[in-house]
Structure 1
Amino acid sequence: MILSGSGKVRFDLGEISVEAGDVVLFHPFEAHVLRNDGNEDLDFVDVYWRDGEAALDAAAKTTAPRGPIFVFSTPPTPNGDLHLGHLSGPYFGADVYTRFLRMKGVEAYHLTGSDDYQSYVATRADADQSTPAKVARYYAHEIRATLALFDCEVHSFQPTMGDDGYGEFQAACFRRLLSSTAIDLRQSPALFDAVTGHYLYEPDVSGLCPDCGGSAGGNICEECGAPNLCHDLGAARSRQSAEAPLVGSVRRPELALDRCYDNIDRHLRASGVPLRILDLFARLRRRGNFSVPITHPSDWGLPAEGFPGQVIWVWPEMAFGFLYNIQALGRLLGRDWKAEMPGNDWQIVHFFGFDNSFYHALLYPALYAEVFSHWTPRIHYHVNEFYLLDGKKFSTSCRHAVWGKEILSPKTVDVVRLHLGLTRPEDERTDFTLDALRRTENEVFQGIWLNWLDALNQEIKQDFAGRVPDAGDWSPVDRAFFARIEIYRAAMERAYSDEGFSVRRAAAQVCDFVRDCVIYRRAQDYAAARRFYPARNRTSLALQTTAAAILAPTLAPLMPRFARTLARGIDGVSTETWPRSVQRLAPGTRFDLGPVLVFYAKSAILI
């Protein structure tokens, strides 16, 4: 209740102006901030009360976000193809999330691209005795092919090389950034190879993280997520020679992050980031004054205007590249989305690995505030940890990987997606093994899922000519199972929704549900009772066909190919829209799962 003065209230859906006499009511858990934007005191009274029932009701609801929603998976570095470590993280997560939103009728798009100007591309070109441009083009093509094999739907794939408009937009953003009060031109310490004299950063140097003391690469520590400036690494080692690197200096523009902390803090509070990112921000603030260069001496990258021999650092470039990708998508759709004028109605969702947290959640909001003062970004973040291969991190450079193309085909992609879902590294690191993947295929998908569907399909075919029977007598067990189907549907909706998004939880829930279906079926599988009490048997089969039918749409974000094949065998079932509730199949509905059972009948994981 505003007593005097005026201000603005920012909440989940935007911002409103308030003045004396206004009353603003919020639902439980609705984040909001009141800010005084006038020259006099803003007096208000804040009233709250505890209502357990209302709180539980609010916590149980899932909100359908308003579009347009731009879901970004981190643009992959085209220094190699995608392996299962890549696929399990941002690309799988963004694909599942976008598919679900579109089923809910939300205008949502999955965007990514190839991060062509990464320094790692130049490193790979040196190793291959090629050029960075050739390496980037080749692997960008391979990456797109692997995403297609993974059934990962991408609505805009934006390369950063070869587009004049992209370079012009980046140059304009760089000029605007240089005029910011948070940018200083400094002659600051930098690291150089003792033998070649080359400037060292990113893949060219490693050492001990100045924040956690663990092993770190140049500019970022993959273990704790903290940035470094290379010269502050402990026991620094150059990739180019065995001699200890030397500290020199370079004149370049730097972003004083400490001047941006208030903007970053406001953004993080509004976006609801995971606590681990808040911890990263708190650790960064403990450093006090901290500046990061926005250019680096290099011959690979977009030229930094006014700084000969230097290029725009690829991470600030990526921040503005996201906006250019939205504009490029708009051109395809006939929409007037302008990168230089991002809209306050845009909602952005980022999927990335924790090692990129500093860039996405801390650096990018700071850059946006300096370049687009009119824009209040609405960004949500979904972060995954590292996926391990036999106990060690997947690695492109070390060739420690299972590559997507080695294992993906139309017949295997659903099992791979199911297994990656069950083992996806969301809040903790998880491990992939080929033996575990084969167990998921043979013991879970083949041994439980397909065996249940096959037994159900045979009984419907033999006793009811491939048509769903009408239910008869209902026992308490039948009523409980029917309720369980709706509980499952609602649980899957929450696992796909922003409030509780978890591919791992969704995959576990569908496996638990199919096991419940098998248990329910076994409890009804008594031949004499089926003959003597046919009305009870009809109810059991009607409920099982309903359970099979609800699998198709609820699996569509997770396993789209299998879901579509399953839906084709049951009349009236669609994977295009999300079911608002469970509806029993009408008696007489065609039920023929022969095609799906034949296609997936034999084990297909061969490597």
Structure 2
Amino acid sequence: MKTLITSALPYANGPLHLGHLAGAYLPADIFARYQRLMGKELLWVCGSDEHGAAITLRAKKEGINPRDIIDKYHELNKRSFEDLGISFDYYHRTSEALHHETSQAFFLKLLEQGDQFEVKTTEQYYDAEADQFLADRYIKGTCPNCGSDQAFGDQCENCGKDLSPTELINPVSTISGAKPELRETKHWFFRLDRHEEWLKEWIKTGEVNGVKLHDPKDWKKHVVGQCMSWLDGGLHPRSITRDLDWGIPVPVEGADGKVFYVWFDAPIGYISATRQWALENGGDWEEWWKGDDSRLVHFIGKDNIVFHCIVFPAMLKAHGDYNLPENVPANQFLNFEGDKFSKSRGWGIELHEYLETFKDFENGKDAIRWALIRNMPEQQDADFTWDGFTEYYDKDLADKLGNFFNRVTVLTHKYFGGAVPEINGSEALTQVQAKVTEFVTAIGANIEAYRFKDAAVAFVELASFGNTFLQDAAPWSLYKANPDDPAIAETMYASIQIAAALALTSTPFIPFAAEKLRSALNQAPAANGDWSAALTSISGGQPLLATGHVLGQAGVIFPKIEDRKDDSRKQIIEGERAKMAAVLAAKAAAAPESTTPSAGEAAEREAFKPEMTFDDFLKVDIRTATILTAEKVKKSSKLLHLTVDLGAEQRSVVSGIAKHFAPEDVVGKQVCCVVNLAPRKMAGVLSEAMILMAEDGEGKLAFVSPPAGLGNGWTVR
């Protein structure tokens, strides 16, 4: 079967940061590399998303052409991907003529059907000073949900709530600063509501019209939860056009000055990228998108779930001849040292900056790949730290993997002139072979199931197994007692097979170091089909490296960061920590001085409750949890029905937060729950725990959340 994979098109309005990498690109690279090693037919397409209001807004502010912006960031991001080994088969861009043609043809095919669009005249904000209608991102105001004055017309940057421009309080134009006025304008709306029923069935059961297309158990819980929250809230027609001078023109009469809204044309970019690849490589693009023997997998971040699980599938189904995605393994968000990545605050590190700063850091590319894999935000938000970066590198790669390779090659050269020794075979060797087969199979199975952290753990366990086996066998002691002891040959033979398995299975994770590992074993770089062939060999009792094969020399492949003999690499990391400290110091200096509240201000707080004993407090069991699903409780305007993951189990929770949060806004939130309250029914729905919330004097609620990356089910004391 063919596998077509896509990664979210990065917006060509700025550089990529490590959070982007951990979300949609590194997991896809691991998956793609593994599929190739298994000898599977695979095509991985991506490209730059080069339309949208943010690009035109920036161009206006800087007095340049949008083309200048997209050219700069397309080249920067494309080069950064290549430098880090992200192995796209084709990296396209949505400003290309082929993409314009593909998007317009897709629209016209839907239009021909007569029931997929409706044209409506609506009121939209207009900037009289700039003499133009304002796209959502051209309008700023106060969020009606959280009160932040930094909300845009499509989303609040503070609380993350989706908005429409008319919901903003005191809106202003970001172009002129003037207060906009409402004027009538005509737009085309995609009838998303017509697709609600089959989308529900498809998400819940994996079936469409009785045909099984995917197994919903294989989809991540937060993906299904977010989809069902949207679907349960009801789908509505969605505008696909905008009044802008940058974008793909709408190819129908009466649409002068209108372009496709970026959410409509961007996913079609996957199709145009496939078409361009086919033109340049003599392939048939339709086999990948429409063939019975082809599957489609989207790699994205959680902010794109709705577009890839609801909107784009509806577009594909409406077109009538495209495959629907088999899976959308969306990752959650990666934070940086306890806070969100922020270019404006200088918080975090961008990919091109990392590559430049760490260019002389040996194994620097693999070091960042490995740190992100080991802390990948697959099921919940995670937190990147420089301490974690150092620990994962030193403990996993240096202490376990590199140390094992060095010992194996050194001892093989010492005892057998570097050649794989001849053996007679034994029960112990058979057991080692079985164990290696088990590990290699587990690594691959986890990658196939999109559990990349688990795959990395299994890889480290294989390295640990090799070290333990070699240490327990102690061939140096055997050699000292009897240089002709056949157990020495058996030990080194088995250790060499473990090393060969590690060199192969490292390839999806740390491809640059993998070549060093294979070179240490005197092997060529891994090629398509090698993993599949290796599994066949080891499961059949055959060696990965045959008797007589001469090894190379490993040396120190992964010099430790904390090695005091060479602190140049530590200095690079200390430099990054110094940048963080400077950002925090600047933030503290800019913050207003805190003052002790007056008696009047203090009196506004809710009065403290009566004293209780410490033993009373110990009775309360508070645990960390993640909200998996959320939906409104029927016949109640105050209640949401939530499902929370407590690590060891899931529970139903009814929470009175519906007036403060929409269901789709809370899915994926990590929270604190009281879990030992007696269950009770609220509005007919069983509640088995209570979500902790903070409330200010105006009655606004905020989640009490644990630090990012803590995990579910841990006790809060």
TM-score for both structures, normalised by structure 2: 0.68
1:535 aligned partner: 486
**Alignment partner, residue 433 of structure 1:** 385
**Does residue 385 of structure 1 match 2:336?**
no
Aligned residues of 2:12 and 2:69 also touching (Cα < 8 A):
yes
Is 1:367 equivalent to 2:315 in the alignment? yes
Is 1:314 equivalent to 2:265 in the alignment? no
- Residue number in structure 2 paired with 1:406: 353
Take 1:124 and 1:391, find their aligned partners in 2: how far apart are those partners? Answer: 29
* CA-to-aligned-CA distance 1:306-332 (integer Å, 9 cap, x gap): 323321011110232221211111111
Q: Distance in 1 between matches of 2:475 and 2:501?
A: 26
Give yes or no for contact 2:394–2:560 (8 Å, CA) kept in 1. Answer: no
**Distance in 2 of aligned mates of 1:428 and 1:501:** 14
Aligned to 1:118: 52
Residues 1:288 and 1:424: Cα distance change in structure 2 (over 3 Å): closer
Change (3 A) 1:398 1:419: same
Which residue in the other structure is 2:514 paired with? 563
Alpha-carbon shift at residue 423 of structure 1 (Å): 0.9
Within 5 Å, give how 1:25-104 maps onto structure 2: 66-67=1-2, 69-104=3-38
- Pairing partner for 1:109 from 43, 49, 72: 43
Q: 2:703 corresponds to which residue?
A: none
Cα distance in structure 2, aligned partners of 1:214 and 1:125: 23
Distance in 2, matches of 1:258 and 1:451, equals 59
Q: Residue 443 of structure 1: which of 380, 388, 395 is its match?
A: 395
- Residue 548 to residue 224, structure 1, CA distance change in 2 (3 Å): farther
Query: Is residue 177 of structure 1 aligned with residue 94 of structure 2?
Result: no
Give the 3-state SS of the residue equivalent to 2:398 in structure 1.
Answer: helix
Deviates more, 1:309-318 or 1:266-275: 266-275
Equivalent of 1:292, from 225, 238, 250?
238
Alignment CA distance shift 1:515-1:401 (3 Å):
same
Distance 1:454 1:234 in 2: 65
Distance 1:353 1:235 in 2: 32
Alignment partner of 1:394 out of 327, 341, 352: 341
Classify 1:590/1:221 alpha carbon distance in 2 versus 1 (closer, same or farther; 3 Å). Answer: farther
Task: Identify which of 588, 591, 600 aligns with 2:548.
Answer: 588
Contact 1:277/1:357, CA 8 A, preserved across alignment? yes
User: In structure 1, what is the Cα distance between the partners aligned to 2:184 and 2:365?
Assistant: 51
Kept after mapping to 2: 8 A contact 1:387/1:432: yes
Offset at residue 280 of structure 1 (A): 2.6
% identity of equivalent residues:
22
CA contact (8 A) 1:471 1:539 kept: yes
CA distance in 1, matches of 2:191, 2:275: 29
Give the equivalent residue in structure 2 for 1:417. 369
Which residue of 1 is the match for residue 274 of structure 2? 326
Distance verdict in 2 for CA 1:375–1:439, change over 3 Å: closer
Structure 2: gaps spanning 5 or more residues: 207-212, 562-568, 574-717
Q: Where does residue 455 of structure 1 map in the other structure?
A: 407
CA distance in 1, matches of 2:51, 2:340: 24
Aligned AA (1:403): E
Does the 8 Å CA contact 2:402/2:557 hold for their aligned counterparts? no
Amino acid at match of 1:550: A
Residue among 505, 510, 534 paired with 2:454: 505
Alignment-mate amino acid for residue 511 of structure 1: V
Aligned residues: 533
Separation (CA, whole Å) in 1 of partners of 2:322 and 2:310: 16
AA aligned to 2:452 is: V
Contact 2:466 2:495 in 1 (8 A): yes
TM-score of the aligned structures, taking structure 1 as reference length: 0.79
**Aligned counterpart for 1:256 among listed residues 191, 195, 209:** 191
Whole-Å separation in 1 of the counterparts to 2:52 and 2:35: 31
- CA distance in structure 2 between the partners assigned to 1:580 and 1:150 by the alignment: 28
CA offset at residue 395 of structure 1? Answer: 3.7
CA distance in 2, matches of 1:209, 1:471: 75
Secondary structure of the residue that 1:547 maps to in structure 2? helix
Q: State the Cα deviation string for residues 157-184 of structure 1 (Å, max 9, x = none).
A: 11111x3332223222223333441311
1:488 has 2:488 as partner = no
1:359-404 alpha-carbon deviations (Å, 9 max, x no partner): 111101111222x224443543121111111122224565433122
CA contact (8 A) 1:225 1:354 kept: no
Between the aligned partners of 1:222 and 1:344, the Cα distance in structure 2 is: 42
**567-576 or 384-393, larger mean C-alpha shift:** 567-576
Q: CA contact under 8 A between 2:397 and 2:558: conserved in structure 1?
A: no
1:348 aligns to what SS in structure 2? strand
Instruction: Work out the CA distance in 2 between the residues paired with 1:328 and 1:124.
Output: 29
8 A Cα contact 1:225 1:358, kept in partner = no
Which whole-Å CA distance do the structure 2 matches of 1:99 and 1:209 have between them?
46
Counterpart of 1:524 in structure 2 is 473
Superposition RMSD on alpha carbons, in Å?
Answer: 3.3
Among candidates 496, 504, 516, match of residue 553 of structure 1: 504
Q: Please report how far the alpha carbon of residue 303 of structure 1 lies from its aligned counterpart in structure 2 after TM superposition.
A: 1.8
CA distance in structure 2 between the aligned counterparts of 1:557 and 1:340, rounded to whole angstroms:
23
Judged with a 3 Å threshold, the aligned counterparts in structure 2 of structure 1 residues 501 and 217 are, in CA distance, closer, same or farther, namely farther
Q: Secondary structure at the match of 2:297?
A: strand
1:434 aligned partner, one-letter code: W
SS of the residue aligned with 1:111?
strand
Partners in 2 of 1:440 and 1:331 — Cα distance? 43
Structure 1, unpaired ranges of 5+: 1-65
Distance 1:206 1:389 in 2: 28
Residue type matched to 1:589 in 2? H
CA positional deviation for 1:203: 6.8
Tell me whether 538-547 or 108-117 shows the greater mean CA deviation. 538-547
Q: Mean alpha-carbon deviation: is it higher for 425-434 or for 278-287?
A: 278-287
Query: Secondary structure of 2:370's match?
Result: helix
Matched, 1:265 2:200: yes
* Equivalent pair of 2:475/2:491 in contact (CA under 8 Å): no
Residues 587, 340 of structure 1: CA spacing in aligned structure 2 closer, same or farther, 3 A cutoff?
closer
Question: 1:231·1:247 contact (CA, 8 Å) conserved in 2?
Answer: no
CA 491–313 in structure 1, closer or farther in 2 if over 3 Å, else same? same
How far apart are the structure 1 equivalents of 2:103 and 2:343? 28
1:381 is paired with a residue of what secondary structure? Answer: coil
Residues 54-111 of structure 1 deviation map (CA, whole Å, 9 limit, x = unaligned) = xxxxxxxxxxxx01x2211111111112221111221112211111111122111111
Letter in 2 for 1:519: T
